[in-house]
């Protein structure tokens, strides 16, 4: 059977049946009136080689006209794409994409991408290819000579071109300008240029690429967004990544906190590690899974990059260096450290929480940013978001040690400077006085220095006044974000075991489980299993308070036993308890 696929140009004797794609004649419109295609023709090669997926001429004709094939990486092996791939269930499609089923077929991507994006749920009124042709015709006219600037929302955002030829670069600019014209609500969108550029490699024309981008922008799938479209949303995503890195990459997070003055500023560049940081062959594999799984997959892969970066550097080697520049250099040369298949394997080995949990975390971070004055229409921060610890003064910890502690607490709280509520040197050693000074505030950080000079403490997510809810009884309260830590002699954080090992919650036998109660303040059980006695974890969950957007602790999303009440922190006249006994 004859098959048609995109290929690099060949010598006359190297490709049977090669014919060039039509190129603009002299004086014909090339996109800007000045730029033309390179000297290497884009060809469609008709071969008789067996393939498992029938690609007809109508599915790929014209695709590749924007590509400089001298830069395009050659497929390493023939693609093995099932003929019924588009009818496979979503889980099966995800598995195939993760395994790189169509990674070695340019024609496969050219056919699959538009069809996968057509399955994305989006707003009813979404600009399509016909709208693009109309708007582009009015904006650029014929011949297409235009001095239109790129949209203001791309100010400061890199516009990668990957393997696009001059004609493709012009087409990319036109697409971005039309997006700015038809989506006036976008105020900040650093992912958009790279996404449009990658899709353009596999689009038959500008209009098809524009329609694909529009559907991703207009996606309304619950808890599964694709593109942040404001500085507020983007910064909330950066903070969310920081929270995830704090949980899933503790060694890398500790390294960054020790080398950087501002950890949040480092994590604010997480998306650029992938786009445009990764080389094309890696970026397009990320795109394969991104189209099926949304933003959550970007978190996964960026976390895997961060883990790999930690393995490739030594703490001593980072002293005095620019950690942001080191990370960018690492991703540019990532092929020297890990293959794309291994990177994806490690990314999908990271056990993240559900899309809904991550969405709740993003909402909580957005709320914190809005409390700091960030608005939806704002394009850039009008002040420095991170807390300056240089003026911090304490008899217990140094400013550098406090910066590390501050990097451990959830990002939405670390935006605010610490406020001293109680000190034994000023307020005495009365426990009742401690409660009186701390009530009405949440969260709080407790710092303790022993007579031996050791320093430890805890992050406490709930108001100490909650202890009064049970009357004279010493009741337990708090949330799953509570953790204890040491600063000296060694800096270490110890947190809820289910944050690190959520599979423990699902391992409870059915006979010991119960369905969560719909009551917002009902208590759910916690595991006393010996498996949760790891020395680096707090072992107990807690209820979620009414109205609180607290991630990593929404117990109703876990299946937990009910033998004992949830416990994180407790206070009585005799003392305070944080965590679990033993």
| pLDDT tens per residue, range 50-85 | 333 333 323 344 567 899 988 988 765 666 777 777
348 contact partners, CB below 8 Å, separation of at least 6:
98, 300
Give the integer Cα–Cα distance in Å for 209 and 167: 14
Looking at residue 378, its pLDDT comes to: 62
> What is the phi/psi pair of residue 486, to 5°?
-120, 150
Model pLDDT for residues 160-187, shown as the tens digit of each residue? 999 999 999 999 999 999 999 999 989 9
User: Average of pLDDT values for 293-300?
Assistant: 93
Closest to 46 measured CA to CA, from 83, 16, 12, 23: 16
**Whether the Cβ atoms of residue 402 and residue 389 lie closer than 8 Å to each other:** yes
Model pLDDT for residues 310-333, shown as the tens digit of each residue? 998 876 666 667 889 999 999 999
Helical (H) or strand (E) element with 240: helix 231-248
Looking at residue 554, its pLDDT comes to: 41
287: its two tokens = 């795109």
As beta bridge partners, residue 114 has none
Q: CB-based burial of residue 361 (10 Å sphere; 0-12 exposed, 13-18 middle, 19+ buried)?
A: buried
Give the distance from CA 367 to its chain's centroid. 18
Looking at residue 316, its pLDDT comes to: 67
Looking at residue 330, its pLDDT comes to: 94
Looking at residue 287, its pLDDT comes to: 96
Looking at residue 259, its pLDDT comes to: 83
Model pLDDT for residues 439-489, shown as the tens digit of each residue? 888 889 999 999 999 999 999 888 888 887 766 556 778 777 888 999 988
Looking at residue 380, its pLDDT comes to: 59
**In the chain, helix, strand, coil percent, each to 5?**
40, 10, 50
Helical axes 323-332 vs 295-312, angle rounded to 10°: 100
Helical axes 106-118 vs 280-293, angle rounded to 10°: 30
DSSP SS3 for 307: helix
Quote the pTM value.
Answer: 0.70
Closest to 371 measured CA to CA, from 387, 385, 388: 385
User: Average of pLDDT values for 17-37?
Assistant: 35
Q: In which band, very low, low, confident or very high, does the pLDDT at 388 lie, cut at 50, 70 and 90?
A: low
């Amino acid at each position: 059977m004859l098959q048609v696929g995109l290929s690099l140009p060949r010598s006359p004797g190297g490709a049977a049946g090669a014919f060039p794609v039509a190129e603009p004649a002299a004086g014909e419109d090339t996109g800007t009136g000045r730029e033309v295609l390179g000297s290497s023709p884009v060809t469609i090669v008709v071969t008789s080689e067996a393939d498992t997926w029938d690609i007809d001429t109508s599915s790929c004709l014209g695709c590749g006209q924007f590509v400089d094939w001298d830069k395009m990486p050659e497929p390493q092996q023939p693609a093995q794409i099932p003929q019924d791939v588009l009818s496979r269930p979503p889980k099966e499609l995800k598995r195939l994409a993760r395994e790189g089923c169509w990674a070695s077929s340019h024609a496969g991507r050219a056919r699959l991408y538009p069809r996968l994006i057509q399955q994305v749920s989006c707003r009813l009124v979404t600009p399509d290819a016909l709208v693009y042709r109309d708007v582009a015709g009015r904006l650029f006219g014929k011949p297409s000579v235009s001095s239109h600037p790129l949209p203001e929302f791309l100010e400061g955002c890199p516009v990668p071109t990957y393997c696009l030829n001059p004609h493709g670069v012009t087409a990319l600019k036109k697409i971005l300008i039309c997006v700015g014209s038809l989506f006036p609500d976008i105020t900040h969108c650093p992912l958009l240029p790279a996404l449009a550029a990658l899709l353009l490699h596999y689009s038959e024309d500008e209009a098809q690429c524009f329609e694909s981008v529009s559907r991703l922008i207009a996606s309304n799938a619950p808890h599964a967004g694709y593109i942040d479209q404001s500085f507020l949303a983007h910064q909330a995503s950066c903070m969310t990544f920081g929270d995830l890195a704090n949980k899933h990459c503790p060694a890398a997070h500790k390294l960054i906190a020790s080398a950087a003055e501002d950890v949040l500023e480092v994590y604010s560049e997480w998306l650029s590690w992938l786009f445009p940081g990764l080389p094309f062959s890696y970026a397009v594999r990320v795109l394969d899974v991104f189209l099926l799984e949304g933003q959550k997959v970007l978190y996964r892969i960026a976390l895997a990059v961060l883990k790999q970066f930690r393995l490739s550097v030594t703490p001593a080697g980072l002293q005095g260096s620019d950690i942001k520049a080191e990370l960018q250099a690492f991703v540019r040369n990532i092929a020297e450290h890990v293959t794309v298949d291994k990177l994806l394997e490690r990314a999908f080995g990271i056990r993240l929480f559900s899309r809904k949990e991550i969405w709740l975390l993003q909402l909580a971070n957005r709320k914190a940013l809005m409390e700091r004055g960030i608005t939806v229409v704002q394009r850039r921060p009008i002040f420095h978001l991170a807390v300056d610890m240089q003026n911090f003064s304490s008899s217990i910890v140094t400013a550098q040690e406090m910066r590390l502690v501050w990097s451990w607490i959830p990002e939405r709280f670390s935006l605010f400077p610490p406020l001293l509520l109680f000190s034994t040197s000023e307020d005495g050693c009365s426990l009742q006085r401690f409660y009186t000074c701390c009530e009405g505030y949440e969260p709080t950080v407790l710092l303790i220095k022993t007579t031996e000079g050791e320093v430890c403490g805890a992050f406490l997510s709930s108001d100490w006044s909650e202890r009064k809810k049970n009357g004279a009884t010493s009741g337990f309260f708090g949330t799953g974000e509570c953790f204890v830590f040491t600063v000296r002699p060694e800096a270490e954080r110890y947190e809820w075991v289910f944050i690190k090992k959520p599979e423990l919650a699902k391992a409870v036998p059915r006979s010991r489980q119960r369905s969560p109660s719909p009551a917002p303040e009902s208590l759910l059980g916690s595991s006393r299993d010996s498996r949760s006695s790891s020395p680096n974890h707090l072992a107990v969950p807690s209820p979620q308070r009414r109205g609180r957007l607290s991630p990593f602790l929404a117990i109703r999303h876990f299946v937990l036993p009910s033998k004992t009440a949830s416990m994180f922190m407790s206070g009585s006249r005799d003392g305070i308890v944080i965590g679990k006994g033993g």
